[in-house]
Structure 1
Amino acid sequence: MIDPVDNFEIPAEWIKRASIPLDELKLRISSGRYVLLSDGSLLRRGFTTGTTAAAAAKAAVLSLKGDISELSVPTPVGIRVFLPVHAKDGKASAIKDSGDHSIDVTGGIEIQAEAKENETIIIKAGYGIGSKNGKPAINPSPMRQIEEAIKEALLETGSRGALVTISIPRGKEIAKKTLNEKIGIIGGLSILGTTGFVEPWNEHLGETKEELIEKADKVVLTTGRIGMRFSSMLFPGYTVILIGSDISRGLAAAKGEVVICGLPGLILKWANPDILKNSGYLTIQEMIDANQENPVIDRALDEAVRVSGKRIVLLDRNGTIFRDTHERNINPINPDGTL
């Protein structure tokens, strides 16, 4: 069984642990709305601002011919999704559904669209959508998604084009709770979404990582977004923190049980900064691709366990486990530096 959003091949063991019938599980997974975790439980994905804006834009165009209360829109990963909307006389709104995302400051926001007949398709950013370097903060993937949704509406209504203005009434207010200003986006929120779906976990990109780590009884420290996604699936019940290269800082803050999980690059470089010296390889991934059994990899992994005293799980980019030290007998280094 393949998760159609991230193309992850779901292990058979996870499927056996699911509490719902197989046919129903397949239906839920194929919809893109659900993620199966390693313990057999399911979490619900939400929709991005891009998907929500696409729904509002399509509804606005359709409502030039009649009222609309529900419709479907395409997503960048090729899955069609249905959203409730409120649309009448060329004005429409849709509410962003965050699914089971733990902390989504944009959850529940209203995205509005207003459509007017036009010779071609023109998409404008209105109030509450931020800008960066003078350009609307609508990323390319959701912009294409919005345009495709408008094209569907035009095909259905027989119209030639539409001028659609998208706005977020509380955009400026909500943007203050995000990192937008720090990355140069001013005046509102971004319209985002490479898949059309919001994963059902918090990526902890704020400035409270140490506090979150300290409070967690069980925590996974992960190095990137791929690690974030699959760690959340592999370790239900754990708080998963995206720590990047600051593994030592994360370990220092931790009070409870800790697992380090992610792609090999940052983890092995953290354990052995000179791992590539005189190796003939430019990256750790290149080293792994050449020989997955290269003893240099395991020596660096053993060093990581000795230094941290923690379980370390290295992942391939497709989410499969490349190395897991759970069964390895390695003596950690004591705080005074002795074995």
Structure 2
Amino acid sequence: MAHIMIDPVTGFRIPDEWLRRSSLEDIEERIESGLWVLLSNGRMLRRGLTTGTTASAACKGAVLSMMGDVDEVDVWTPAGIRVRVKVEASGGRCIARKDAGDHVSDITHGMKIIASASPSERFELVAGEGIGRIGRGGLSADIGRPAISRSAHAQIIKAIEEGVAEAGLSGAVVRLSVPDGRRIALRTLNPSVGVEGGISILGSTGFVEPWNEHLEHDISESLSELDRVVATTGRTGLMYSRMLFPDHTAVLIGSKLDMLRMRTGRETVLCGLPGLILRWAEPEMLDGTGYATVAELIEREPDHPAITRALEHLGKMLPGTRIVLIKRDGSIFRDTGLI
């Protein structure tokens, strides 16, 4: 029986043919590390680390450096994989640099995330300069709260707890900052989605997927050749797509919705959070609504006619494809297959 290789980050079953096309002797070790992605042509691309993983490393390094200099830490990721991250830490202050891997257009590559730690009887994370704040409703946290996702926050707290245990302390207060975060955030989607004053600390898996023209070719090939396929725009969509459509192959396309070239006569689905999908179908859908983001519109007026119009346009763009829009908790917001 052939050895089955599963990508530990995405859960994707790697075809034997892809493995045979690779000449690397340590291919299985690379795949199991979570840090590498195998392409259909046998080539491997390196995953990067999210802002959540980078911040976790900075926080753990800061705690450990209260006891001595630190140049590397290992941290847990939400994918269940531990990774080692190089840091510069001394005297309770640690710098970790964001590594985008082979994602050629990640503008946060090399960005410094800094943590400062002090001993305490409690565990506390303080979000400082360069970390954005939630400015509008419909996002993953209340207005005014730091833009740190639940998964990233849990990852950071675990890193602090590990650092405290390894240092033999009873607790620590850690302040996190991104010196260049405000400037970098202006080049991201944060201003348009309602995150103000800095970057977001994110990461549902802890890893950044690589992206270049080779990976784009593989994805386009999968979308056109598979009989049952569900395309999804992000990690949340990928997770729930596998639950909702277990008989389909889930393909992560990210924001590259223009690649969607699904063949008619097959069982095809587009599944994901509403914002990116609806704005792609109708970029001006919010004009005249009084809302700045799709998330805010859906939260306040889930039956707004602008949503219906965007879905109708999407149906014309992707004839025969079922559209499933989900909320962050996995509940279905709209499903054209039920109409």
Give the TM-score normalised by structure 2.
0.66
The whole-number CA distance in structure 2 between the counterparts of 1:139 and 1:175 is 16
**Residue 14 (structure 2) pairs with residue 10 (structure 1):** yes
Q: CA deviation at 1:243?
A: 5.1
Stretches of structure 1 lacking an aligned partner (at least 5 in a row): 204-215, 235-239, 245-249, 252-257, 276-281, 288-339
Q: CA deviation at 1:272?
A: 4.0
Q: CA deviation at 1:220?
A: 3.7
The whole-number CA distance in structure 2 between the counterparts of 1:130 and 1:177 is 13
Q: CA deviation at 1:77?
A: 1.1
Alignment of 1:21-100 (within 5 A): 21=25, 24-100=26-102
Alignment of 1:124-135 (within 5 A): 124-132=126-134, 133-135=143-145
The whole-number CA distance in structure 1 between the counterparts of 2:174 and 2:212 is 32
Name the residue aligned to 1:324: none
The whole-number CA distance in structure 2 between the counterparts of 1:104 and 1:86 is 22
Of 163, 180, 195 in structure 1, the residue corresponding to residue 205 of structure 2 is 195
Paired amino acid for 1:271: P
Of 115, 118, 139 in structure 1, the residue corresponding to residue 117 of structure 2 is 115
- Inter-CA distance 160–274: structure 2 relative to 1 (3 Å threshold): closer
Q: CA deviation at 1:284?
A: 7.1
Name the residue aligned to 1:150: 160
The whole-number CA distance in structure 2 between the counterparts of 1:202 and 1:180 is 23
- 3-state DSSP class of the match of 1:163? strand
Name the residue aligned to 2:188: 178
**Residue 319 (structure 2) pairs with residue 271 (structure 1):** yes
The whole-number CA distance in structure 1 between the counterparts of 2:30 and 2:217 is 31
**Residue 42 (structure 2) pairs with residue 20 (structure 1):** no
Residue-by-residue CA offset, 1:199-230 (whole Å, 9 max, x unaligned): 00179xxxxxxxxxxxx99994975326999x
- Inter-CA distance 8–226: structure 2 relative to 1 (3 Å threshold): farther
- Inter-CA distance 283–177: structure 2 relative to 1 (3 Å threshold): closer
**Residue 147 (structure 2) pairs with residue 137 (structure 1):** yes
Paired amino acid for 1:173: R
Paired amino acid for 1:63: S
- 3-state DSSP class of the match of 2:17? helix
Alignment of 1:210-225 (within 5 A): 220=220, 224-225=232-233
Of 104, 107, 112 in structure 1, the residue corresponding to residue 106 of structure 2 is 104
Paired amino acid for 2:22: A
The whole-number CA distance in structure 2 between the counterparts of 1:61 and 1:150 is 7
Stretches of structure 2 lacking an aligned partner (at least 5 in a row): 135-142, 224-230, 239-248, 272-313, 324-333
Q: CA deviation at 1:19?
A: 1.6
- Inter-CA distance 241–119: structure 2 relative to 1 (3 Å threshold): closer
- Inter-CA distance 263–165: structure 2 relative to 1 (3 Å threshold): farther
Larger Rg: 1
- Inter-CA distance 20–219: structure 2 relative to 1 (3 Å threshold): closer
- Inter-CA distance 285–272: structure 2 relative to 1 (3 Å threshold): closer
The whole-number CA distance in structure 1 between the counterparts of 2:267 and 2:180 is 38
Matched-pair contact (CA < 8 Å) for 1:219–1:241: no
Matched-pair contact (CA < 8 Å) for 1:75–1:195: yes
Matched-pair contact (CA < 8 Å) for 2:133–2:197: yes
Give the TM-score normalised by structure 1.
0.66
Matched-pair contact (CA < 8 Å) for 1:129–1:190: yes
- 3-state DSSP class of the match of 1:70? strand
Paired amino acid for 1:265: V
Q: CA deviation at 1:260?
A: 3.7
- 3-state DSSP class of the match of 1:135? coil
Question: Could you say what the CA RMSD is over the residues aligned between the two structures, in angstroms?
Answer: 3.4
Give the paired residue count. 247
